[in-house]
Chain A
């Protein structure tokens, strides 16, 4: 999955950032178990960088809080992400970066589904199927070049 030489989407729309979360009393109370909610999961993925632009997935509106669904009691997390253009060749890579971030950050009890917002990509079924296959995901992460690209998306500072 090498990035194409010229930028596919040279002038992407840039969106406003959501305000930071305010903490309430219970958040500081050690005895109250933290229930993981959609805002917390969104906070984990919003600052992931796009592989091609020096912008976050939140700024590109690739991820939005309204497309993060969390059911803590059922251990379910569903993320819908919206590629900036319908033929975006980076879609699988972006989906993989989101998966990896959550794999590393969430407790193992969670079942995480990462898929493309319906109707926003030409190959959404094929991309969704790859992202849902844990063997394929593990195999992709064994590729050192790919892993490096993903780590850059997860860690680069603006």
Chain B
């Protein structure tokens, strides 16, 4: 069992953030870790020999970043914040056609879209459906919102539209939302009101 001290060990301590870390998340296919913090930044880490190092610090939110979500391909990241916005970040590899400057061999991540004016209070969680590509958010205003990318949008300046809102999804703050990885449109949410709810979205 994992409770035996011999079964596990701490292999690294990453203290890049200057304040509380609210969320950690692994990249869907690469050995990359992302974290979100009260210090308003998102940091990305990769393995560097024997240890891990922070290769990018994403700064754009005006307040605590509560959560992050990668898209299905791991090329984009969505973040949500106490500043009531959602931001979409895109990965630019070294030598990319857009001429984005990168540090040596590491990719650079830039904020390519900000969704504001939709949430009335802190946004606590965000999830990106691998099947439908819909983005769902959990709000401190008791609401759950769905965003869908505009088909025609330019990948360097994508546009997302609010396609649905459940304004009283719960009777208190919605703390977390998660898409089911196998069944498209199936979503779970949980709240300070003590309930867990399952939702089915018609996304065709």
Q: Which residues of A does B touch, CB under 8 Å? A: 108-109, 111, 129, 132-136
Contacts and interface: CB of A to CB of B under 8 A. Distances in A.
Interface residues of B, number: 15
A109 B121 contact: no
Interface in B184-201: 192-193
A132 B82 contact: yes
A106 B194 CA distance: 18
B38 interface: yes
A133 B121 contact: no
Contact of A111 (B38, B140, B193): B140
B96 interface: no
Contacts of B38: 129, 133, 136
A108 B193 contact: yes
Given A108-B171, A111-B141, A132-B122, 14 more contacts: A108-B172, A108-B193, A109-B171, A109-B172, A111-B121, A111-B140, A129-B63, A129-B82, A133-B38, A133-B64, A133-B82, A134-B173, A135-B22, A136-B38
B31 interface: no
Nearest to B120: A111
User: A-side binding surface: helix, strand, loop or mixed?
Assistant: helix
Contacts of B7: none
Contacts of A132: 82, 122
Contacts of B192: 108
Contacts, number: 23
User: B-side binding surface: helix, strand, loop or mixed?
Assistant: loop
A64 B64 CA distance: 30
A72 to B, nearest CB: 16
A20 B154 CA distance: 62
A111 B192 CA distance: 12
A129 B64 contact: yes
Interface in B4-31: 20, 22
Contacts of A109: 171-172
A108 B122 CA distance: 17
Contacts of B82: 129, 132-133
A109 B172 CA distance: 6
5 contacts: A108-B171, A108-B192, A111-B140, A129-B64, A136-B38
Contacts of A129: 38, 63-64, 82
Interface string B76-101: 00000010000000000000000000
